[in-house]
């Protein structure tokens, strides 16, 4: 983490920006020679983990577990793995989830590689719900629905994935979200749904695959993104089984 924060090896004070902070081995902190309050600082000062009493040896494994377990991690499982209490694990999971929701300033596809885009509906099945809850549901294609539409974007080169809840799956809604998330001129792979029509007219290289005929045509496919959306659906179903309801905006 020291090499990532100061790649040139020159430790800078996060408060005044002065170079050449000295390491204090007994206190295990850095010391800035500048004349200002709080001359001592640690590696966490100036980061989102600054005020956390939980050590980095707990935070980093928790981040790794949450980002690599495709079916999600419960607070009880995380507590067992890290050797902390369930309340601490619950606190850490919520903070990591909140950090993951932060929007990146970089757009997908800026490296020139292909980008997969797909949409899905996540949520419970109305026929398995109580009649009182079923009456409060919105209406979708074919009748009442409790499912939430989401849009998934996967960059094959950077191996980054972004999902977001969308109000509907109309062409205007999805394409506006694509314009915000994907770099102009990128190559986009989708299925042949009409909601993705005219992407080529918006400065994208648009490749489609007809799932009725084939799922892969050379490098044109949406298999990776589809697998992630299936995993998100499985996670939401487990959550519904535990709490009987999916919170608004909750994806995975």
- Would you write out the chain's pLDDT as a tens digit for each of its 252 residues? 788 888 888 888 888 888 888 899 888 889 988 888 888 888 888 777 877 888 889 999 999 998 888 777 899 999 999 999 999 999 999 888 877 776 666 788 887 788 999 888 887 676 777 777 666 665 444 455 567 888 888 888 888 888 888 888 888 999 888 888 888 888 898 988 888 888 888 888 888 888 888 888 888 888 887 877 777 666 655 544 443 444 444 444
Asked if residue 186 and residue 80 are part of one domain, the reply reads no
- Residue 90 to residues 84, 87, 241: CA-CA distances in angstroms? 10, 5, 19
Number of domains in the chain: 3
Same-domain check for residues 31 and 139? no
Reported as half-sphere exposure (CB side, CA atoms, 13 A), residue 252 has a value of: 25
109 belongs to a structural domain: no
pLDDT of 75 reads 92
Same-domain check for residues 47 and 95: no
CA distance 72 to 158: 22
The answer to whether residues 123 and 14 belong to one domain is: no
Residue 251 covered by a domain: no
Q: Does one domain contain both 11 and 94? A: no
Q: What is the pLDDT of residue 86?
A: 95
Q: Does one domain contain both 237 and 143?
A: yes
**Is there a domain that residue 250 lies in?**
no
Number of H helices, E strands in the chain: 7, 10
Task: Give residue 231's domain range.
Answer: 114-243
Distance CA 242, CA 22 (A): 52
> Same structural domain for residues 217 and 125?
yes
């Amino acid at each position: 983490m020291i090499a990532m924060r100061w790649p040139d090896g020159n430790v800078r004070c996060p408060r005044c920006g002065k170079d050449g902070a000295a390491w204090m081995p007994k206190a295990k902190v850095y010391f800035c020679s500048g004349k200002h309050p709080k001359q001592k600082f640690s590696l966490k000062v100036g980061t989102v983990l600054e005020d956390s009493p939980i050590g980095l040896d707990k935070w980093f494994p928790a981040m790794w577990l949450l980002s690599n377990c495709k079916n999600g991690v419960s607070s009880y499982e995380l507590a067992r793995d890290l050797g902390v209490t369930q309340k601490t694990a619950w606190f850490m999971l919520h903070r990591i989830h909140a950090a993951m929701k932060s929007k990146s300033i970089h757009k997908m596809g800026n490296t020139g590689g292909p980008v997969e885009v797909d949409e899905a509906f996540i949520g419970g099945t109305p026929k398995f719900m109580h009649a009182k809850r079923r009456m409060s549901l919105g209406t979708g294609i074919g009748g009442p629905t409790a499912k939430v539409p989401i849009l998934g974007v996967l960059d094959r080169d950077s191996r980054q994935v972004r999902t977001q809840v969308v109000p509907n799956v109309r062409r205007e809604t999805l394409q506006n979200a694509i314009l915000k998330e994907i770099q102009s001129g990128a190559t986009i792979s989708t299925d042949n749904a009409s909601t993705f029509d005219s992407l080529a007219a918006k400065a994208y290289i648009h490749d489609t695959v007809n799932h009725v005929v084939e799922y892969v045509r050379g490098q044109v496919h949406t298999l990776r993104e589809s697998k992630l959306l299936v995993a998100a659906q499985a996670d939401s179903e487990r959550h519904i089984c535990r709490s009987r309801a999916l919170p608004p905006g909750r994806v995975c």
